[in-house]
Each structure stands twice: as structure tokens, then as C-alpha cells.
Structure 1
Amino acid sequence: MATFFLVIIYLAFISLGLPDSLLGVSWSMMQPEFGARLETAGLLFMTIAGGTIISSFVSGTLLKRFGTGIVTFISCFMTAAALLGFYYAPSLIWLFLFAIPLGLGAGAVDAGLNNYVATHYKAQHMSWLHCFWGIGATMGPVIMAQFISEQNSWRNGYIAIAGLQFALVMILFFTLPLWNKISENSKINATKRQEEINDGIGGDTKHQKPIQIKGVKLALVSFLFYCGTEATMGLWGSSFLVNVKGLSVGVAAKWVSLYYAGITIGRFITGFITLWMSSQLLIRIGQITALAGTILLLLPLPSIFSMIGFILIGLGLAPIFPCMLHETPARFGKDHSQTIMGYQMAVAYTGSTFLPPLFGFMAANSTIGIFPFVVAGFVAIMLLGSEKLTSLLNKNRWSSREDFLNGGKTTFGE
């Protein structure tokens, strides 16, 4: 029963991933139809992500009042209805109106399911959960590219994705009775998971404000630039390939789908690697791999190397987000992990909300050719922040051990 419940959660994350990459892939066709400027895609993306931020902030209240099952079902229904609205949208203003429920539908279920898995399951399940998000994010541009190539229609791509979303909504509807039952049965597992978390922390932080715990702000920087990198790649990667590398819209869409495929496959593999490799090492390897991919985009090489660069960036990004999420209780203690998880999700969505449109304004006033330089900068900042956080946490843990051996009180996080 618990395994079947995990499958339901994975399906919910497919529905989260399906719409995420559609706008960036289809914008090259949508822009002339609506007579919009290039940077309007950034504003639409900001509207979607802004709704996600709002629903994430209120997710705790919603989940307590209605339960994870109901919130997940309603959220997926909202995204399906919004995608259907994109298909029928007669003008640009309607795209902005439907972008609101599209964002609102994603936030609550994302925060709720991430916290549930981080608390109740091992690290491999967090990686596989986000692997299923990647399946959705990969399927989205593949389906859209098919409709653009064969029918020259972005609208049919949106209605096809909406149909898949509604199918997932039906599955969630018929499994609603399972959520309360499984939730009761999982309380024992949650207690065991919290005991494991306690064993990994070296000190007492319960009397501190979460934001004042050493390393929290550095963690927030990593989340900001991780999501900024991931979203900028998804939103502007196709435009870069079309306008700088000279690829057709259909081919560019397929190459962007390979980027999301890299994230998906990487997270599937990461789930197994976490059994014998630490999350921190996986985060470091992922960041270095992503940086190597951006270098391929920077160099004046044949177009095929850009495809390899997109795949490398996807593979590099794959382990970073789920591993950082799962490390939250181990880094900062169980007493504040829920609050800090909320901070991290909010800052992550802030990165996806503001950094891609910021790049859009920069590109509109200069050239889309700055794309690889900006992405490389984002990855570099994320890597530096993460390494500084690791150094700080290791220093605190050694101090805690020395205090313990000397018979003193632990000082982790003070």
C-alpha cells in the first residue's frame, strides 16, 4: 500500500512538470501571433511563478485544513483548466489571466509533497520524486515540438498537455480515500525518520530563530541561483538556439527536451547513487558538471556541441535540488527544518520568478547571445555559495565534537 501511495505522489509530480517547459518552447510561435515583445515571455513566466510563491506561503494552512490529497487534486485540476485556457486564449491579456491559476495550482502541492517525502522517506525517494517531475518536464516540450513540426500549431500542443493533466486529475480523484488512510499508517515511519535526522545533527538550535542559524542564508543563495539557472535554461534556451545557433523552432524544442531529459535521467540514477555517496558530494559533482556544460555553450563550436552542453547542464542540475532539500533537516536540525524548508521553497520560486525575466530584459536591450555567459554566472555563484556552506557546517560540526569530548556544551549554530 505504501508503494502504491508513492506511485500516486510520483504521478502528481509528473503533472507539476508537464506545464513547466511549455512556454519557453512555444514562445517563438506565440510571440508573432499575439504581437508581443520578446521579453513578454519573462513577464508571463513571472506571473506563473508569482502565483506559485503565493500558494506556497499558504500551503501549510491549506494542507492542515483540507489534507494533502484534496489540495493535490484541486491543484492539479487548476493547472489542467489553465492549460485549456491557454488553448482558447484569444489575446495576450487572456494568457496572463490563465497564468495565475497555472501558478497557484503548482505551489501548494509542490511544498506539501516535498516536505512529506523529506520527512518520511530516504534520500533516494526525493531524487526519484523529482525525476518524475523531470518526466513531465521532458514530455511537455516533446509533445509541443511534435505539434509545432507537424501541424504548425502551439495551441494543439497545449490542449494535448491539458488532456494528460485531466487524466491525472481523474486518477487523483479516485484515489482520494487512500490519502487519509496512508497518512495515519505513516506516522510511525515519520517518527523513525525524525530519529535518524536527530542523529545527523551536532548541537542545539531550538532556541534560535531559523534565519539566524549559521549557514541558512548561504543555503538560500544556492536555492535562488539553482532555480534561476534551471528556469532560465528552460525559458530562453530555445530562443538562444533559434536566434544564435540558427536552428529551426522544432529542432530547438527537441534540444531543450534533451536538457529536461538530462535532469530526469540524472535524478533517476541519483536515487541509486545516494545509497553509497553523500548528498553533499552529489551536489558538488552536479554543480561542476553544469558549469562544464555552460562552457560548451560559450565556446565557438559547431551546433552539436550546444546540444551536448544542454544535456550536460541537465545532468549536472539533476541531483542538486532534491539533495539540497533532503539535506535540510541534517544541516539545520529537525526543530526548524519545516520553517527553513518553507524559506528555501519561497526563495527557490523567487529565483524562477525574477531571474529569467531579468535575463529577458537584458537580452532585449543587448543580445540573446549573452545567454551562456549569464547561465555560467548563475552556476558559478551557486557553486561558491554551496562550497562556503559546506565549509561552515563542517567547521561547526568539528567544534561540536571537540566541545563534547572536552565535556562542554555543544555550540552548533550559535
Structure 2
Amino acid sequence: MATFFLVIIYLAFISLGLPDSLLGVSWSMMQPEFGAPLETAGLLFMTIAGGTIISSFVSGAVLKRFGTGIVTFFSCFMTAGALLGFHFAPSLFWLFIFAIPLGLGAGAVDAGLNNFVAAHYKAHHMSWLHCFWGVGATLGPVIMAQFISGQHSWRSGYLAIAGLQFALVIILFLTLPLWKKLEGNSNSMAANESETNNNALNGADDKNRKPIQIRGVKLVLLSFLFYCGAEAAMGLWGSSFLVNVKDLSVEKAAKWVSVFYAGITIGRLITGFITLKIGNRTLIRMGQLLALIGAALLFLPLPSTFSLVGFIMVGLGLAPIFPCMLHETPKRFGQEHSQTIMGYQMAVAYTGSTFLPPLLGFIAAHSTIGIFPFVVAGFVAIMLLGSEKLNAILNRNDLIREKNKNSNVI
């Protein structure tokens, strides 16, 4: 049954990625149809992101009340309905209306499934799941392009994606009774590991604390904020940096940015195998250092070819960080608090990807896009420092726990 659920969760992650890149691909056709200014796409994106951030923050309480299966079912139903709404939208106003459930549904699914996998499955599945999200994000534009390039419109593309989402909704509905059975399986290896190696950072009284008050949670949130800021900044401003600073053509710059995303996707596929031999903490540290070196290659006065190497290194370096940090959540803070903290992490992650890249763009507009690699390196450095400080706290608590255990034995 656990393997059967893995297939469903993998499908859910593909469907989670499908809508993420649709707006950018279809906006060039949507804009003239609705008579909207170019920047309206940014406002729609912010509306979707706002819904995702809100639902991620409250997902802990909602998931605890209703369970992962029911929340995932209703959330996927919301996103499917929202995509169908985009297909029928008669005006720009309705696009904004349907953008709200699209964001709300995505945030709850993301937080719920990430915690479910962290609690019930090994680390390699988390890396592969986020690799499959990349598959969905890649397939979305491919599917939309098939309709845009033919005799159909962007509306047909949204209808096709909505149909795929509704197919997943039907599967989730049929498997609802099985979700509770698996969630209640107290013999899960990951759950046992979490309770045995509980690294709750404030001692035995953690159960009486609010999750945000647990020592180390704010450091984790800081890491998620700047991880997503670095990843999104690379995708949004990498091409502009290559064109304006490295004097590359627009076509070549676009290809080099795609190599960055390929590095993340392929890196997560490879990371899944590496986690069988190397722990999450080590992989997170190695990834941060590799990304930092890659960012350094971008601002050093080297030939432009080194920039391609830098983009690849940053992509490969970022690849293991996000899924490994997510998988560590129950081990770091305990099974009881993991769902709520997972929601916080996803909300802060979306906040970083939504607001930090535009902030970089604002600063660059008033100075130079040449600051891009320095800012990315700064984001990675802050993430590394926060992560290492958290590791120091974890290691110190492990030593104290081991010392107390030995003294009790004596």
C-alpha cells in the first residue's frame, strides 16, 4: 500500500508543477484578448502567490483537523476548478477571482504532501518528488504550446491541464479511505525514527510550546526564505545579467538559464540516489558550498564560458537543499510539530520566491544588473550561516542527550 500511495503522490507532484509555468507561457495571447497592460501578469502571479502563502501558514491546523487525504482531495479539486475557470473566464476580473483558489489549493497540497513524505518515507523519495515537480513544470508549457501553435487558443490549454487535474481528483476521491489507514500506521519507519531521534531543540517541554517558539525554527525559516530567493532570482534575472553584463545574445542567455533549471532537476534525481549513502545535513552543506562557488564564478572577471559553469554549479548546488531541508523537519522538531512547521516553511519559501527577486530588480533598476551575482551569493551565504548555526544547536543537543543517557545507565 505504501508503494501505491507513492505513485499517487508522485502524480500529485507532477500535477502541482503543471500550472506553475502556464501563465508566463500564455500571457502573450491572453493580454491582447483582455486588453490588459503587460504588468497585469505580475499582479495575477502575486494573487496566486498570496493565496499559496496564506494556505501554507494555516495548513498545519487544517491538516491536523481533517487529515492529509481529505485536504489533498479538496485542494486538488480547487486547483482543477480554478484552471477550468481560467478556460471560461469572460473578463480579466474573473482571472483574478480564479487565481485565489488556484493559490490556496497549491499551498495546502504542497505543505501536506511534503510532511506526509517526510514522516512516512525515506529521504530519496523527497528528492525524487521535487524532481517530478520539475517534470510537471516542464510539461505545462509543452502542453500549452501544442494548443497555442495549432488552431486552438490558450483556453484549450487550460482546459487540457484542468482535465488532467480532475483525473487526479477522481483518483484521490477513490483512495480517501486508504489515506487514514496509512496515516495511522504507527509502525512507519520514518515515524519511529522521528520519535527515537527527536531533536526538539528546547528539551522535554517542547510539547507545551508553540511551534514558532521552538529554538531553531526561525533559523530554518531564514534558510527557506533565502533559498527560494536565490533560486527565483537566478531564473528571473539570470538572462538579463548574461545579456547586459556578459554580452551574450538573448537566445544564448535563455539557453544558459534553462541549463540552470536542468541542473536542479537532474541534481534532484541524482540526490535521491546519494541520500542512500549520505545524510541530509551533509548534502545540504555540500549543496550550499557548491552554489556559493558557482555564484562566485559569475562575478569574477572570467571569460563568459565560466558563467555557464557557474549557472550549472548553482543549479546542481541548489538541487539537494530544498528537499533535504523538508525531509529533516520531523527529525529536527519532532513529529508532533512537524506539520505546522512544514506549513510555515512552505509559506516562507513562497514569500522568498515572490518578493526577493522583485526587490533585487528594483535595486538593479536604480544601480546596475551587475549586482545580480553578488546578491545571489549573499542569499546563499546567509542560508549557509543559518543552516550551520542550526547544525551547531542540533549537535550540542545530541551531545547533551547522549551524556544524560549515559549517566542514567551508570
Q: Under a length normalisation based on structure 1, what TM-score does the superposition of the two structures give? A: 0.82
Tell me if the contact between 1:53 and 1:107 (Cα under 8 Å) persists in the aligned partners. Answer: yes
- What is the alpha-carbon distance in structure 2 between the residues aligned to residue 244 and residue 41 of structure 1? 27
- What is the alpha-carbon distance in structure 1 between the residues aligned to residue 146 and residue 367 of structure 2? 32
State how many pairs are aligned. 403
The answer as to 2:10 corresponding to 1:10 is yes
In structure 2, do the counterparts of structure 1 residues 235 and 368 end up closer, same or farther at CA, with 3 Å as the change threshold?
same
Shift of 1:391: 1.3
Tell me if the contact between 1:255 and 1:310 (Cα under 8 Å) persists in the aligned partners. Answer: yes
Q: Which moved more, 1:46-55 or 1:360-369?
A: 360-369
Structure 2 residue matching 1:58: 3-state secondary structure? helix
Instruction: Give runs of aligned pairs for residues 8-407 of structure 1, distance below 5 A.
Output: 8-21=8-21, 34-36=36-38, 43-60=43-60, 62-63=62-63, 68-80=68-80, 82=82, 96-140=96-140, 160=157, 163-188=160-185, 191-201=188-198, 203-204=203-204, 205-245=206-246, 252-407=253-408
Tell me if the contact between 1:52 and 1:104 (Cα under 8 Å) persists in the aligned partners. Answer: yes
Name 1:411's counterpart in structure 2.
none
In structure 2, do the counterparts of structure 1 residues 297 and 323 end up closer, same or farther at CA, with 3 Å as the change threshold?
same
Q: Which moved more, 1:398-407 or 1:81-90?
A: 81-90
Shift of 1:217: 1.7
Percent identity, aligned pairs only, is 68
Structure 1 residue matching 2:20: 3-state secondary structure? coil
Tell me if the contact between 1:141 and 1:253 (Cα under 8 Å) persists in the aligned partners. Answer: no
Name 1:412's counterpart in structure 2.
none
Shift of 1:216: 1.9
In structure 2, do the counterparts of structure 1 residues 254 and 157 end up closer, same or farther at CA, with 3 Å as the change threshold?
farther
Show CA shifts across 1:250-276 (max 9, x none).
654444333222222211211121111
In structure 2, do the counterparts of structure 1 residues 345 and 293 end up closer, same or farther at CA, with 3 Å as the change threshold?
same
- What is the alpha-carbon distance in structure 2 between the residues aligned to residue 349 and residue 126 of structure 1? 18
Tell me if the contact between 1:52 and 1:103 (Cα under 8 Å) persists in the aligned partners. Answer: yes
Show CA shifts across 1:116-137 (max 9, x none).
1111112122112111112223
Tell me if the contact between 1:80 and 1:162 (Cα under 8 Å) persists in the aligned partners. Answer: no
Shift of 1:379: 0.7
Letter in 1 for 2:356: L
- What is the alpha-carbon distance in structure 1 between the residues aligned to residue 22 and residue 242 of structure 2? 16
Tell me if the contact between 1:83 and 1:158 (Cα under 8 Å) persists in the aligned partners. Answer: no
- What is the alpha-carbon distance in structure 1 between the residues aligned to residue 246 and residue 97 of structure 2? 33
Tell me if the contact between 1:127 and 1:271 (Cα under 8 Å) persists in the aligned partners. Answer: yes
- What is the alpha-carbon distance in structure 2 between the residues aligned to residue 141 and residue 329 of structure 1? 35
- What is the alpha-carbon distance in structure 1 between the residues aligned to residue 336 and residue 214 of structure 2? 12
Shift of 1:14: 1.2
In structure 2, do the counterparts of structure 1 residues 172 and 60 end up closer, same or farther at CA, with 3 Å as the change threshold?
same
In structure 2, do the counterparts of structure 1 residues 403 and 174 end up closer, same or farther at CA, with 3 Å as the change threshold?
closer
In structure 2, do the counterparts of structure 1 residues 302 and 42 end up closer, same or farther at CA, with 3 Å as the change threshold?
farther
Tell me if the contact between 2:69 and 2:180 (Cα under 8 Å) persists in the aligned partners. Answer: no
Letter in 2 for 1:10: Y
Shift of 1:294: 1.6
Specify every segment of 5 or more residues in structure 2 that has no aligned partner in the other structure, as ranges: none
Shift of 1:339: 2.8
- What is the alpha-carbon distance in structure 2 between the residues aligned to residue 303 and residue 329 of structure 1? 43
Letter in 1 for 2:8: I
Tell me if the contact between 1:25 and 1:235 (Cα under 8 Å) persists in the aligned partners. Answer: no
Letter in 1 for 2:325: M
Show CA shifts across 1:58-112 (max 9, x none).
3345546665445434434544555566678898766655543332221011111
Tell me if the contact between 1:147 and 1:156 (Cα under 8 Å) persists in the aligned partners. Answer: no
Shift of 1:9: 0.8
Tell me if the contact between 1:49 and 1:352 (Cα under 8 Å) persists in the aligned partners. Answer: no
- What is the alpha-carbon distance in structure 2 between the residues aligned to residue 371 and residue 98 of structure 1? 34
Shift of 1:393: 1.4
In structure 2, do the counterparts of structure 1 residues 133 and 231 end up closer, same or farther at CA, with 3 Å as the change threshold?
same
Tell me if the contact between 1:23 and 1:41 (Cα under 8 Å) persists in the aligned partners. Answer: yes
Tell me if the contact between 1:241 and 1:252 (Cα under 8 Å) persists in the aligned partners. Answer: yes
The two structures, once aligned, show a CA RMSD in angstroms of: 3.6
Shift of 1:323: 1.0
In structure 2, do the counterparts of structure 1 residues 104 and 374 end up closer, same or farther at CA, with 3 Å as the change threshold?
same
- What is the alpha-carbon distance in structure 2 between the residues aligned to residue 161 and residue 82 of structure 1? 10
- What is the alpha-carbon distance in structure 2 between the residues aligned to residue 359 and residue 24 of structure 1? 20
Tell me if the contact between 1:328 and 1:341 (Cα under 8 Å) persists in the aligned partners. Answer: yes
- What is the alpha-carbon distance in structure 2 between the residues aligned to residue 242 and residue 87 of structure 1? 36
Q: Which moved more, 1:376-385 or 1:71-80?
A: 71-80
- What is the alpha-carbon distance in structure 2 between the residues aligned to residue 108 and residue 57 of structure 1? 9
Tell me if the contact between 1:43 and 1:357 (Cα under 8 Å) persists in the aligned partners. Answer: no
Shift of 1:385: 0.8
- What is the alpha-carbon distance in structure 1 between the residues aligned to residue 308 and residue 2 of structure 2? 39
Specify every segment of 5 or more residues in structure 1 that has no aligned partner in the other structure, as ranges: 409-414
Tell me if the contact between 1:45 and 1:357 (Cα under 8 Å) persists in the aligned partners. Answer: no
